[in-house]
Each structure stands twice: as C-alpha cells, then as structure tokens.
Chains A and B, each alone.
Chain A
Amino acid sequence: MKDNFVYFPGCLALRKFPGFDYSTRFVLDKLEINYKTAEDFVCCPDPVWIRSLSYKDWKNIGLKNLEKAKSLGSTMFTICNGCFETLYTIKKSSANLKSFRVEHLIYTLWKNKKNEIKSKIVVPLNGKKFAVHEGCHFKRPSALISEEFGELKKVNILKEMIELLGTEAIVAKDECCGYPNSLTDKELSYLLAKKRIESFGEVDGIVVICPSCFSHFENVLVHEKRELPVYFYFELLAYSLGLDKNKIGFEFHRIKPLTI
C-alpha cells in the first residue's frame, strides 16, 4: 500500500460515539496503515439534509475538507457512508481533484488487508450470527459509484469482512434503514427501520458501517424494547484484533452488546 492516507473521522464518531474513532485508530495501527488526519476537518457535510437545504454550503464546506485532505495525502478514507457520499460526489465534480481518491475505510481494508486481518485476529467471534447492513449511501447511486468502485455492485463487502472475524453473516436484500426520515416524519422512519430489522430474521446483532444507520437502528430497537445489539464494524474488528473491551466505547451504545 503505497498511498498516503488521510483519515476523515466525521461528526458522529468524534462527537457522539468516540469509540468508533478510537476503534478505527486502533485498527489502523494494528494493520500498520500510516495515515494523517487534520484537527480542523469540519462536518463533511451531511449529503441528505445540508445538500437539500443549501447546495452552496454543502459543496463549499465539502471542498474545504477535500482541499485540506489533498494537502496531506493522496487517498482519503471515511468511516461513514454519508461522509463518503458527500466527499466522493464533490470530488467527482472537481477538475483539480481528479487524481485524489476518496474511499470508505471498509473498502480500503477489503481491497488491501483481508489476509493480514485474518492472520492478526486474536479474539475470533466464532459462532455468532450477525446481520449485515451496508447502507444506501455506500454503493449508490451506482451510476456514479461504479466508475471507481465497480466491484461494489457484485460483492457484499461487509459480509466478507465480518466473516473474516469468524461469524456467520446474514444478508437481506439491500434496503434503507430509514434514518433520513427521522428528521421529518418519525413515524415513517421507524416503520422503515422495523421492516429492515424484520428482514434479518433471528440474529445475534446487526453490523453497520455508518454511524447514522447505527444510531437510527438503536433508537428504533430501544423504542421497540428489543435487546438486539447493533455494532459498528470497526468496533468488532478492533475487538478481534485485541483491543481491550473497556476501550471500545461500548458504554455509548443504547443497547448493551451482550453477545460478545
């Protein structure tokens, strides 16, 4: 891996779920991925609401993050579908960012580090059955994403990455978690999430790669009084690679992760 990586943590992983950020940094160190990051990165911003309300703000703020990242390296990775969509979409429309890459970290690891992860696992998650939810903004719109990530159409990366840790993966047809609607029609957003959760059947947990999907699934499950844990993939990966359970940040989950 010759790229000079730049890590973009995003709002939720720094401000609401700090364990997401810490687990990610632990994984990067364990896998010996050198990276830089910037203290003054701001919100990506959100590809649904900020883009809806003010295209100008969305694009200008996104460009500032991208220019800062470009001054630090050649490939930027995010740990959030929303950050990925915003930064990738804006990059695609900017002539002077043509050679700069934007990826979701799950893709970076899937492409380059599968074997290394396998050989470095110290705590396998054998015997667990996890539903995988990649989320809409990771691989859509495919007309745009396929230009650089054609494989995403054919493979469920998250399935492969969770199976690396020794778990069984349950994949249901891609569907929305309903998060965006939680800001404008809560009832509808809860119905969408419930439908999605039902589609997984009986599982030990739901694994996601987007803090917004995470937060929405948890809120709905708490509302439904269901003790089904939701995991952010990089937490589980960090755990399998040996991160002390007390440093994963599980206390920020609303549903305690009882199954590991």
Chain B
Amino acid sequence: MRLNPYFKEEISRELKDHSILMCYQCGKCSSFCPVFNLSPEKFNPRKLIEMVYIGAEDVLKTEDIWRCTTCYECFENCPQKVNFVEIIFLLRTKATERGYAPKIPMQELVLVRKEGFSVQISPRAKKWREEVIKIGG
C-alpha cells in the first residue's frame, strides 16, 4: 500500500474542528462502539484513525468506512472529544468523489436529487390517504 504523507493534514484541514489531531489512540471509541463489539474484524474506529495518521489513503476504498452507524457512542465517550462521526462523513464524501460509494446509498442520493425524496411513494399509501383519510396526494 502506498502511503500519502499529506493525507492526515488534508483530513485535518477539512474537518472544521481539526479534532483528529487530538486523538492519542486510547481505543475508548472502539470499546464503546456497538459495531466493533459485534464484529471487530469488520470495523474498528481507532484503527481507522490510525490509518489516516499513517497516510493510508486506500482506507477510502475499504468497505469498513461504510459500516459506522453514526450512533455517536464513540464521540460521547472520547476523552479527547474527537468527533469520529465527522471523520467518517469526510472519508465517505471523499470516497464518493473518487467513485467508491456503495450502490444502495447512491440510489438514495440519485432519488433525492431527482424527486426531492429518498423514498418513492407507495401506491397503497397514496390510496389510503385518498380513500380512508381523504387527504389528497
């Protein structure tokens, strides 16, 4: 894996609070993370920060970054107040710009851009609104 020595600075610069620089790798985030606790081999927030620290830009190609549920358990418990969820959002946005976004969430974005909604209206729901409660549309 090729390392990018500027990756950490790039991420830190783009995070409004630069909080990633405060991480001292204690691992508390992981120990509180429900996903890590179920499946440590699939997802480890502390390790993801470490990858950014060493410049492992290929982290953007991994499935791992798409497994955070954004439950904020890590941020709530981090002694250094690192908002890991903001880091995940940034990594995902960068991955998307490079074409690595997973298919199903992308379909949601396409739908929102096209129709303004992330779910299509179900014909049953439409009928119920018109016939049972008599609200149009």
Contact = CB atoms under 8 A, between A and B. Distances in A.
Interface in B68-124: 68-73, 75-76, 81, 83, 85, 88-89, 92-93, 96, 101-102, 104-106, 108-109, 112-113, 116-122, 124
Given A15-B120, A52-B88, A189-B69, 19 more contacts: A15-B122, A15-B125, A22-B133, A39-B137, A50-B108, A53-B96, A53-B101, A54-B109, A61-B112, A140-B71, A141-B75, A142-B72, A175-B71, A180-B70, A184-B67, A188-B38, A192-B35, A195-B38, A249-B128
A259 interface: no
A256 to B, nearest CB: 16
Interface SS of A by simple majority: helix
A206 B124 CA distance: 25
A16 interface: yes
Interface in A206-240: none
B28 interface: no
B117 A57 contact: no
B63 interface: yes
Contact of B105 (A53, A179, A189): A53
Contacts of A11: 117-119
Contacts of A178: 34, 69
A17 B129 CA distance: 10
Nearest to B81: A143
